[in-house]
Structure 1
């Protein structure tokens, strides 16, 4: 006769349920946090990462950029570019018979010399598309010589993290939103439409979604307020997600000099869309994005490139079947997140081995990441970030419980006590943090008398507590010798490349509110070339970061009236020069301050040279140079 120890089974089930409670609680927190948009930044970062890691594509053979670069501007000796130069450039390009030419340069007012010549070119170029800005606060008129059909707005919409992932295709006229005949189309859409019309493919209303547009059978997926990881975003007008072209060279780019000297293959422009724009770092026409690779300025691409990506993705979706970014319905996304969160809980119930559980969670997490990468290549953006978060946290946390529950079957009572102690300790950690905030939110929501603002504050607190767990672990993992805390409070990982550290120091310092004169700077130019880590020790990196911070702080404290700042790090043969230059009043006193002595000591420790002096006509330059040696 088989005796069943029901009491023991009941105790085991009770322990398993208690051990699963933290995992279920955290899963509930993740779902609620996503509903209120607190995971939006994580999901958008994941989207950028997947787009950046995709396999490279060949350069687009339908869209070409003619970029006026720094060398072109120096040779012209003036900026803005004169009308005569632009007119000659358009005439030269026209000789190669492109389908459409886009001019991503504002021309609402004459820029002499050569204005009359440009007027004639505008009047005779029926395949030319110009730009206007229509959205507040600073609308800009289009070139008056171009017809409305030859104008596209260049306004773009920014996300809350100051990056650009969406493209506005159409919007009602701000002057007369009730008149469809005055509706406005974007610069990129006008160029794509011109190319596709040449192929006898015209713009039409969508079939499955009549509020979007289509070309032939290709319907552009409309951005909604809760598309993908977005929560309650503005969905006015017609927007699409940007599916940036992957690879180090998405487009062929010719300079003004190349076109003037005709130093290129004529087939490069024939039957193409040619977009003219500025690709010079001294002109502030940048778009923030982390979704592309091989950026000349980390985290940014030129505005003309952004419009080229938008135009290219429409054309290639219609002509070549290249994927446009799509998302699952909301209900499927939340089912997916719950399944990812429940997997480690179920595995915890079934498995008996800590290492098997851990291996299974790691394998599934890697598989989930790879799945997201594969699906993005086919145009599907799924909620990988919340899924990975619940999978890893629940998997790692519950594995600890699994080890406590099953390590000693011979000593049942002792094992039960140890399990209970472990469960209570882990639950206390969660209970004293996010769970308390969550309980307070749920209690007040049931009372139905809690102001919306208070609810928002509590959920922001919950989001902060969740984020603090990851940020704390990440920063505390660094030893004191491997980290540096700046005056702004930012903690740097000195194992990162020096040019990345320079960008972090620069950005963090210029955002400081206690440095009065940095607030009014209008022109900010910075570029830092990389240095091989073999030339710099961790201590060298620390001192260089302190040098840059101190130099920028000096501008913020002493450069009254400063409007322009340059921070440049550049290699010259086997030397590296780090220079900070402003257009403030210059050095006021000849007495060397404590900060200047610190900068001089840093240069001395590197075996380099230091100078800090006033420059003509006004301003100050602070520079350190040293020889790169192992």
Structure 2
């Protein structure tokens, strides 16, 4: 029992070592492609898709957008909107007492009339933040009259697919490496939290990030999630944007709404104690960014710049105050361990199912579970796991290489088992037609006590020689590729010869055996075997046909008491070949079906033919095997 278990274990190890190699090769290839950045676009696409499929979130009332749209431009009758109107807008907004105002419009060059009026508004209201662009190649300076505390940069990074997923919170001043520069979003949330009594601190787990009220903002590292060796500014801090998933994530007002002084009570409630962003929400301004992470956009795949900053501000506020998850990842070790697990899973599935349809169903179900798990992890905990490479290695290994390799190798093992079973069956047949016949003859006369002792001794010495000859034959058969057949008489014939020649050999060799007493009473021996085209017969089938003839003749010598005539013929006619042995002996004495009869019926089914064995009138027995030699099996 223990040996059988160990043999099974060794067989499984051998199977895995052969069949799992293609799957492991695919897994290594997928990992290498990911490590050099070949899967970034696919992983970004899956990230956007899962973000887009999240349930709708409620509107964030802490952020309000005042957008200058096309109707505002028509109302003002000037573009860009002059500084005087911007100053008037900011002054009106200040009356509603917002915590901070972000002006997302470049004001490095005055737009008259009203330049001095706008400068005065800036000087009198320190909670207003203006913007600049600091990173090459196109740098845009801030208004000259503003101190650094009232300036935030709006430089953004595009991914290789032109989508905007990252936001730079702060970075080193490219013109002065001893000075840090802060983004518009970070300047505004800093003022918001200070008014609420919260200070920005250095992270504890990650000293390179910001911590607010014990919550650290997860920064983008060079190999963050699906990114590979990503650049996020020298000494800078970038975060992955977790867009607020809503058709209207923020309250949006227009310039003319504020300046027309309508609904004052409503605006006081809407704008008081809020972060207000003022910017262009028109196509003329060209302040457009791209994303696929939002399902309902006014401009398909596009988002206004002021909305972009609003999403980042809302994300930070929601993370610190509401506990909304911020997007982060497992890190390299966790991600590649995950990919390896999903690379080996389809190999295991292929080994267990070993069926094309079962394998397809199992791999498809596993793929749905993988995507669902990645979606839930992103939605509930904000964890971006490597879904795309895991799905690829699952699909390739599950549907393709591993299942095919296991199927082919298992097919090979099954063929080996069948070959072993055929060898065992053939060995039994050789023993049955040789030594067992000799043993039966000896036992019969021992019981009857009708032969001398010396004659019985000779029979058992013959039995000893036959058994030894069978052992030598089996050794020879395992060492040589030549297909051969050993008859009970000890004669070895080559199976690559024509079938009718083999039948003549079997007939002559069997009837010359002197260990069957009823062969001695034969007076007439008739044999005739028509030649046929045996190209559709395998050597194994030819072997079984020869053994059938030998078995039928041995039965005559063993059971046909009083036999005088035996006739063995192979006749081809009416597209059918009939191999028949007739005798005029005592006929069938027992209706029990022995092993020889069972084997003959099995052979007939394999050949697509028929077998019959019955008594003749008035005396004799017929044993016949028929099949169509033109049929391919």
Q: What TM-score, normalized by structure 1, do the two folds share?
A: 0.62
Q: Return the alpha-carbon distance in structure 2 between the equivalents of residues 130 and 301 of structure 1.
A: 20
Cα deviation digits, residues 568-596 of structure 1 (max 9, x gap): xxxxxxxxxxxxxxxxxxxxxxxxxxxxx
- State the 1:190 CA deviation: 0.5
Q: Which residue of 2 aligns with 1:164?
A: 164
Residue 62 of structure 1 pairs with residue 62 of structure 2: yes
Q: How far off its partner does 1:67 sit?
A: 0.8
Q: CA deviation at 1:358?
A: 2.0
Q: How many residues in Structure 1 have an aligned counterpart in Structure 2?
A: 413
Match of 1:242 in 2: 241
Determine the C-alpha separation between the residues in 1 that align with 2:27 and 2:303: 37
2:380 paired with 1:383: no
The C-alpha deviation readout for 1:197-256, integer Å capped at 9, x for no partner, is 110001111112222111120111121111111111114311111111112222111122
1:230 has 2:232 as partner: no
Change in 2 beyond 3 A, CA 1:404/1:202:
same
RMSD of the TM alignment (CA)? Answer: 2.5
2:292 matches 1:290: yes
Q: 1:415 to 1:73 in 2, by over 3 A?
A: farther
Superposed, which structure 2 residues align to 1:423-434 within 5 Å? Answer: none
Q: 1:353 to 1:415 in 2, by over 3 A?
A: farther
* Structure 1 residues 20 and 145, CA gap change in structure 2 (3 angstroms): same
Asked whether the 8 Å contact 1:188–1:310 carries over to 2, the reply is yes
Q: Secondary structure at the match of 2:252?
A: strand
Residue 7 of structure 1 and its aligned partner are, at CA, apart by: 9.1
1:214 pairs, out of 211, 215, 218, with 211
The Cα offsets for residues 368-399 of structure 1, whole Å up to 9 and x where unpaired, read as 11111111122111111111111122111134
Q: Is residue 137 from structure 1 mapped to residue 137 from structure 2 by the alignment?
A: yes
Q: Is the 8 A contact 1:405 1:415 kept in 2?
A: no
Equivalents in 2 of 1:173, 1:394: separation in Å? 49
Answering whether residue 275 of structure 2 is matched by residue 276 of structure 1, we say: no
What does residue range 28-107 of structure 1 map to in structure 2 within 5 Å? 28-107=28-107
1:302 is matched with: 304
Deviation at 1:401, TM superposition (A): 4.6
2:399 partner SS: helix
CA distance in 2 between partners of 1:239 and 1:26 (Å): 34
Task: Choose 1 or 2 for highest CA Rg.
Answer: 2
| Alpha-carbon distance between aligned partners in 2 of 1:3 and 1:117, rounded to the nearest angstrom | 96
- Tell me how far 1:45 sits from its aligned partner: 1.4
Deviation string, structure 1 residues 264-311 (Cα, Å, up to 9, x no partner): 522211111000011112221111211122122222111111111111
Please, which runs of 5 or more residues in structure 2 have no aligned partner?
421-633
2:347 and 2:403 in contact (8 A); partners too: no
Q: Equivalent residue for 1:327?
A: 329
The verdict on how the C-alpha distance between 1:117 and 1:3 changes in structure 2, with shifts beyond 3 A counting, is closer
TM-score by length of 2: 0.62
- Matched residue of 2:31: which SS? helix
Is the contact made by 1:63 and 1:275 (CA closer than 8 Å) also made in structure 2? yes
Change (3 A) 1:18 1:415: farther
CA contact (8 A) 1:216 1:318 kept: yes
Conserved 8 A contact 1:408-1:415: no
Q: Is the 8 A contact 1:353 1:402 kept in 2?
A: no
Other structure's SS at 2:201 match: strand
Matched, 1:392 2:395: yes
CA distance in 1, matches of 2:215, 2:51: 22
The CA distance in 2 between the partners of 1:281 and 1:204, in whole Å, is: 39
Task: Give the superposition deviation at 1:409.
Answer: 9.1
Q: Relative to structure 1, is the Cα distance of residues 259 and 372 closer, same or farther in structure 2, using a 3 angstrom cutoff?
A: same
Aligned partners of 1:208, 1:104: CA distance in 2, in Å? 33
Q: Corresponding residue for 1:564?
A: none
Counterpart-to-counterpart distance in 1, 2:46 and 2:229: 19
Contact map agreement 1:243 1:324 (CA 8 A) in 2: yes
The residue matched to 1:259 in structure 2 has which SS? helix
Check the 8 A contact 1:41/1:161 in 2, yes or no.
yes
Cα deviation code 1:165-210 (max 9, x no counterpart):
1111111122211x2xx31100010011111111000111111222
Give unpaired runs (5+ residues) of structure 1: 417-630
**Distance change (3 Å), C-alpha of 1:318 and 1:415:** farther
1:74 match: secondary structure: helix
Measure, in 2, the Cα distance between the counterparts of 1:119 and 1:348: 72
The Cα offsets for residues 56-113 of structure 1, whole Å up to 9 and x where unpaired, read as 1111111111111112112222211111111111112112111111000011111011
Q: Residue 169 of structure 1 contacts residue 238 of structure 1 at CA under 8 Å; is this kept in 2?
A: yes
TM-aligned CA distance change 1:375 to 1:415, over 3 Å: farther
